[in-house]
Structures are given as C-alpha cells and as structure tokens.
Amino acid sequence: MASDSTESNDPMADDFDLPSLSLKQQLLLEAAGKAVSYIGDERTGPVAPRPATASELVNDLRSRLTTSLDKPMSPSDALELLHWAGLQGAVRSTGGRYFGFVNGGVKPAALASSILAGAWDQNVALPVMSPVGSVVDEVAASWMVELLGLPASATASFCAGASIANVTAIVAARDYLLELQGWDCPTDGLIGAPKVSVIASAEIHVSVLKALRLAGLGTSSVVMVPTDRYGRLDPDQMPAIDGPTLLLLQAGNVNTGHSDPFDRIIDQLNPDDTWVHVDGAFGLWANASADRRRFVAGVERADSWATDAHKWLNAPYDCGLVVCADGTRLRRSMQMDASYVPSDGELRPLMNLGIQMSQGARAVPVWAILATEGKSGIEAMIDRCCDAASRFASRLQDAGVTVVAPVVLNQVLVSFGSDAQTDEVVAKVQSSQKCWMGATTWQGKRAMRISISDTSTTDDDVDDAVETVLSAWSEVGHRRDV
C-alpha cells in the first residue's frame, strides 16, 4: 500500500516494502498490480459483468463511488475502490469476445506505452512543451497517412476521436468553400455568409450530421443521396452540383461495413468547387490491406478524412485522426495566435492543426503499435478481423441464420426471423456474459450487429460465440435440427 512520500505522516508508511520510492512511484506499482490482475481474466471472465442497465449494479457503483468530499481517502484506498469498481462495472471489451459497437480492444504495446506517456504527462500543444511528444506525433501521423494509403503530401492531426475529426475537417471545408465565394469565414463568421451546398450519402454516420450542426451548416438543407441495400451511395442519383459544395461520403457503413463507390462519385465532380470529406472511422483501415483495399477504391481522392486509432487500430481511447489533403486549409481554420505562444520552429504546433489547445500525447500508443507491428502486422490485423467476420457469418448462415448483408470488412448483420425473435436472441446472448453483440434496425428490420474490431479475437473466440448465439436462438424456439 502506498503512502505520502518519505515526509509522510501516514501511520501506514511503515508497511511499505519500498519506502524509498515516492508516492507517485508506489502508486504506479500498485495500479500496475491491479491492472495486471484485471487483465488476468479478461479472456475468461464474464464479458459484461451484469446487464449494463441493471439498477442494482448502477446503484451499488454509485453508492460506493460517492465518497465523502469532506473526508478524502488515501490515494491507495482510492485505487482499491476503483479496482473494485472496474471488476464490477467494466465491460471486458479487450478479451476477444466483445463484438458490440466498433470499439476495438487494446494492443499490449499501446496499453503499456500509454502508461509510460501518462507518467510523462506531456501537453503536446506546442513543441516547446514537449519535444518528445511533438516528434512522436510527427512520426506517427506520417505513418498513419502512409498506412491508410492517403496522399503523401496530406497533413494528419491526432484528436479525441472521429467525431472531433469530422468537425475539424468540416470547419476547414466550410471556410474553404466560403473563401471561394470571397467570404472570410474565420473573420466574418456565418451571419450573412453566402450559401455552401451540402450533399451527403443518406447513410452518412450520425457524427457527421452532428459535425454539420456544430459547424453552423445545419442539416435541414443537406441533400441526401439514396443508397443501395447495403448502404452505399447510388452514384446515378447524385444531384447536379451547383456552386461550392461539400460532399460527405462514408467509408465503412456502421451496420454493414460497405463503403460508397468513391471513384464513380468523384469522377462526376469538378474538383475546383467541391470538397469531399470521408468519414472512415473504421472503414478507412480497409485501405491498409491489399485484399480489402478494393472496397474503398478511390477513397484517397477525397479532400479530407476522419478516422480512429481507438477503434480498429486498437489504441486506447481517446484517439482519432483528421487528415486534410491540403494542410494549409487545416491551419487556416485552426490557427490560434497569442503573444505568449511561440509557434515557430521546425516541429508542428499541434494546437494549430486541431480544435484543442492543451492535449495529451495521444500519438505515443499509436507510435508503439505501428513501430511494433509494421506495415505487414497492421495489414494482418485488419485481415484477421475481416476473416473472423466472414467465419462468423458463414457459420451462422450454415446453421440457418439470415445474413442480411454480404460481409466485406469486419461487420456482420444477421437476423433470426421476426424482429421480436431477433431482439430476444440478442438479449439472451448479452445476458449469457460469454460474449456481447448489439442490435440495430437495418432497412426497417431488426438485426444482430456483430463487429470484430478487437484484434485479439481468435477463431476459437468466434466459434464459441457462434455456439452461444445458436444456443440462444434455440432457447427462443428455433429447433437446430430443422
């Protein structure tokens, strides 16, 4: 147990085996021990501790964690309490058996390096604040551009997630499209500004619509282009482009994993007055795989992209990436100047490439993943998840389950007869605690949504999960021998 440093009056200080360590060092060792014990059963313990909405669990956590602010506890007791809370209330999304949402696990090198970066506690807003953070960021950002198959001249900037990346890119696009019309949006704002037309895939992710709201463009005038039955924009239904236009496309539909046909769409555009932004929170990673690249063909022809490292790359949260083909556009919209802020020098001032000023060294775990996996390792990670998704779908299909959309990446959509039956199967699987997948509505029908985004998922994990799903299906009345 840790105490306050060597000057501590803590009566428990004598208990320590390593009294020469500072409080910080002792607590770090303590936290590491607890983290190691948590991870010990991540592959075997219940995936979801109890149904996530169970009020008993929530009330228990609430009452134990609402400690007295008038009687602060020791850091060691706080760690003990958090460890207990984690064991009770954390969803084990890192043990290969969590298929809900597109969350992703965490690569060992990424987790360990993020602890190291936590000890550094760097603010990477400016190179002067963190030479190491700035250089790691520069290297990792350029590796990301290369791995994702984007133009080598593009500028990438880490941020909290794809939602923030979407806002950042859309603000840069808005400013550019208004500048084309002689309007200086960063200075004059949006009141009285000329119009920016917005066209989007009808299946564009909700975070892009939120980004439009935050960027002051709203959603009511967006022209939504219909999609096919797998959620891909139909290029034959693209409206005529009239003046400066923002076109919002999707790499990786959040349900089916399918992507818009970028080449066919972009071929129709006049690049001089159109800005194409792609939300590729997970789907852009298809471009890192020689086998899956064809599903996002032409995506590199866009003007900006949003993606995540905390999803399919399996970096810890919060880590997204915005990329702009023309980095000057990003800087023009994100620039902050103040007399106390030195922003010259050879390294990039990151606060001028994104929304945040202060920011942690998010690139450190990304660097660790990329440096330890290399190009072939990243490609294998992506392919392994896609192969696992295909295995999932074909084993379920062989057992008579309806696969709603052909599997192209890491997303599987299946249904079990009526909507009610599908929901019942999902609920039974969730409460089994053996694996976890969510439910969705796809083109008017309920479906089970299975995402293989944790790169530690093995074939055995898939096979066990298939068994869990099939036995849940039997329990809701399906006879497996029929």
Question: Which stretches of the chain bind ligand PLP, using CB under 6 A?
Answer: 102, 161-163, 205, 207, 252, 254, 279, 281-282, 308, 320
Q: Which is nearer to ligand PLP, 176 or 305 (CB)?
A: 305
- For residues 420, 426, 427, 433, the Cα torsion angle rounded to the nearest 10 degrees is 170
Rounded CA gap, 297 and 289, in Å? 12
Q: Which two tokens stand for residue 98?
A: 């969590």
Residue 282 or 473: the one with the smaller Cβ distance to ligand PLP is: 282
Nearer to ligand PLP, 26 or 253 (CB): 253
Q: Which residue is nearest to ligand PLP (CB)?
A: 161
Q: Where are the beta strands (DSSP E) in 206-294?
A: 223-225, 245-250, 274-279
DSSP 8-state assignment for residue 399? T
Residue 165 or 466 having the CB closest to ligand PLP: 165
Cβ distance to ligand PLP smaller for residue 114 or 207: 207
Q: Shortest approach of ligand PLP to residue 54 CB, angstroms?
A: 24
Burial 161-198 (b: 16+ CB within 10 A, else e): bbbbbbbbbbbbbbbbbbeeeebebeeeeeeeeeebbb
Minimal distance, residue 438 CB to ligand PLP, in Å:
11
Q: How far apart are CA 382 and CA 66, in angstroms?
A: 41
Nearer to ligand PLP, 253 or 422 (CB): 253
Does residue 248 contact residue 208 with C-beta atoms inside 8 Å? Answer: yes
Nearer to ligand PLP, 382 or 472 (CB): 382
Q: CB of 28: closest distance to ligand PLP in angstroms?
A: 28
CB of 462 to ligand PLP, least distance (A): 21
Q: Reply yes or no: is the peptide bond before residue 454 cis, omega within 30 of 0.
A: no
Min separation Cβ 205 and ligand PLP, Å: 4
Shortest Å distance, C-beta 378 to ligand PLP: 19
Write down the least CB distance from residue 248 to ligand PLP, Å. Answer: 11
Min separation Cβ 471 and ligand PLP, Å: 29
Closest to ligand PLP by CB, 102 vs 353, is 102
Q: How many Cβ atoms are within 10 Å of 147's Cβ, its own excluded? A: 21
447, containing H or E segment? strand 445-451
Distance CA 199, CA 173 (A): 13
| b/e per residue 288-326 (b: at least 16 CB within 10 A) | bbeebbebbebbbbbbbbbbbbbbbbbbbbbbbbbbbbb
Closer by beta carbon to ligand PLP, 92 or else 258: 258
218 vs 221: CA distance, rounded Å: 7
DSSP string, 59-103: HHHHHHH---SSSPPPHHHHHHHHHHHHHHH---TTSS-B-STT-
Cα–Cα distance between 154 and 146 in angstroms, integer? 10
Q: Please, which residue, 38 or 317, has the CB nearer to ligand PLP? A: 317
3-class secondary structure, 446: strand
Shortest Cβ 299–ligand PLP spacing (Å): 13
**Using CB atoms within 10 A of its CB, is residue 334 exposed (0-12), middle (13-18) or buried (19+)?**
buried
Minimum CB–partner distance for residue 319 and ligand PLP (Å): 8
Question: C-beta of 250: minimal distance to ligand PLP in Å?
Answer: 7
Nearer to ligand PLP, 208 or 225 (CB): 208
- Our CB check for ligand PLP shows the closer of 279 and 373 to be 279
300 contacts 293 by C-beta, under 8 angstroms: no
Burial of 14-30, coded b for 16+ CB within 10 Å and e otherwise, reads: eeeeeeebebeebbbeb
Tell me the three state secondary structure of residue 22: coil
Alpha-carbon span 351 to 441, nearest angstrom: 39
Nearest approach in angstroms of CB 277 to ligand PLP is 12
Longest dimension (CA), the chain: 77
The pairing of strands 411-415 and 223-225 is: unpaired
Please say which residue, 250 or 457, places its beta carbon nearer to ligand PLP.
250
Minimum separation from the CB atom of position 17 to ligand PLP (A): 42
